[in-house]
Amino acid sequence: MKLTCTQSDLNTHLSLVSRAVPSRPSHPILANVLLVADEENQRVRLTGFDLSLGVQTSFAAQVEVGGKLTLPARLLLDIVSRLPEGDLTLQEEEGDAQATLTCASGKYQVRGMNANDYPELPSIDANEDSNLPVEALVEGLHGSLFAASRDEAKQVLTGVHLTVNPEGIEFAATDGHRLAMVQTIQDPGAVETDADFDVTVPGKALQELERMLQVNPGGEAIAVRFDQGQLTFEWEHQRLTSRLLEGQYPNYRQLIPGQFSRQMTCDRKQFTSALERIAVLADQKNNIVKFNISNTDQEIVLSVDAPDVGSGREALPAQVSGDDLEIAFNVKYLLEGLKTFNTTDIQMQFNTATSPSIVTPLGGMKMTYLVMPVQVRS
């Protein structure tokens, strides 16, 4: 094998596939990345696989001699990321399983393993395909992923529930304390799909998909295929495969109240900035911020009282309807949701100090963010 490519191309694509390489592999070869040089197509394909999540990506290169081998992912990335910009030559003598990496400033040798022992990514022979618009997929991931649980004990809640039909795509994620639901493309026939489906995809896999789309967004649509327990996303020379999460996802639509007795509308940037300032003190007291929502004064007052540390108060104008209300929230939950919005104004809707509240962007993405309030002892 012998190929020449740029340092930036190799570094970028190694960074993507290395995230699918396990830190504690069940088999030594899984700590490696599979590198395939295709002389006919003049491309280099990289694969990382932990037997659950697989990432495969490729880029153009000058391939003099084709071949394949596996190399230690972390070590190779550490070396390549520190090399100067410009062309690199990677060469392996036949049957040697050792790569020599040459750049303008020096030469490195890295011992690999036989590529024949590397497991193949699962192949899905699905008769039914769905082509999801890239823009809709990116918007849905951005607006939902942050709300998935990070507690592995909650299993199915660590994923994002994806519902696809010809009318649109819906993303939902919840950790039991909040729920983010995003609906993208609500035009009949906007999604090319052979069948309706709803699956729960691990959050980790979708985080990697989001990163891959940022690096190489590809064309207008991404092909999605799935069968029992597996799902793949494929687009221009990129592929991500993941197991699906088992178990019944909660009926999250039932969590959203049908009507509200109070609501508040305010400027998103002002509200977010005020929360960020007061969060400095809230961090000293379980991240809890009190809201005093006043119809009379048409304002919202945010306050924190952290004994032995200090207190803080912020007031900002708001359009308020319904009775006055005192309610408290985990400020981190609110900020994480608000940072996914891109609209000028936001709306919050409430019933009581102990029932679910809804935050929505006004005039932008169709997103519903449900947050449970925190009960504060007087």
User: In terms of domains, do 247 and 262 share one?
Assistant: no
Instruction: Among 117, 141, 158, identify where a domain stops.
Output: 117
User: In terms of domains, do 135 and 111 share one?
Assistant: no
Residue-level pLDDT at 187: 62
**Are β-strands 221-227 and 130-133 bridged in parallel, bridged antiparallel, or unpaired?**
antiparallel
User: In terms of domains, do 245 and 169 share one?
Assistant: yes
User: In terms of domains, do 101 and 161 share one?
Assistant: no
52 assigned to some structural domain: yes
User: In terms of domains, do 315 and 249 share one?
Assistant: no
Residue-level pLDDT at 375: 87
User: In terms of domains, do 272 and 190 share one?
Assistant: no
Question: In whole angstroms, what is the distance from residue 107 CA to residue 98 CA?
Answer: 13
28: domain CATH number is 3.10.150.10
Residue-level pLDDT at 226: 85
Q: Which residues of the chain have pLDDT under 70?
A: 126-128, 185-191, 193-195, 218, 285, 378
Question: In whole angstroms, what is the distance from residue 318 CA to residue 263 CA?
Answer: 10
Number of domains making up the chain: 3
3-state SS string for 51-109: CCEEEEEEEECEEEECEEEEEEHHHHHHHHHHCCCCEEEEEECCCCCEEEEECCCCEEE
Residue-level pLDDT at 133: 87
Residue-level pLDDT at 172: 97
211 assigned to some structural domain: yes
Instruction: Among 253, 283, 309, identify where a domain stops.
Output: 253
Residues 6+ apart with CB under 8 A from 36: 44, 45, 46, 47, 67, 68, 115
> What domain range includes position 7?
2-117
Question: In whole angstroms, what is the distance from residue 185 CA to residue 136 CA?
Answer: 7
Residue-level pLDDT at 127: 62
Question: In whole angstroms, what is the distance from residue 118 CA to residue 29 CA?
Answer: 6
Residues 6+ apart with CB under 8 A from 116: none
Instruction: Among 117, 139, 167, identify where a domain stops.
Output: 117
Q: Which of 232, 19, 199 is nearest to 123 (CA)?
A: 232
Query: pLDDT tens digits for 161-188?
Result: 999 887 789 999 999 999 999 998 656 5
What does pTM read for this prediction?
Answer: 0.90
Query: Per residue in 81-96, is it b (16+ CB within 10 Å) or e — as a string?
Result: eebeeeebebbbeeee
377 assigned to some structural domain: no
**Are β-strands 238-243 and 53-60 bridged in parallel, bridged antiparallel, or unpaired?**
antiparallel
Residue-level pLDDT at 95: 73
User: In terms of domains, do 65 and 154 share one?
Assistant: no
User: In terms of domains, do 166 and 210 share one?
Assistant: yes
Q: Which of 135, 255, 250, 151 is nearest to 203 (CA)?
A: 151
User: In terms of domains, do 66 and 111 share one?
Assistant: yes
Partner residues linked to 128 by β-bridges: none
Q: Which of 305, 301, 276, 282 is nearest to 291 (CA)?
A: 301
User: In terms of domains, do 141 and 233 share one?
Assistant: yes
214 assigned to some structural domain: yes
Query: pLDDT tens digits for 347-378?
Result: 999 999 999 999 999 987 899 999 999 987 75
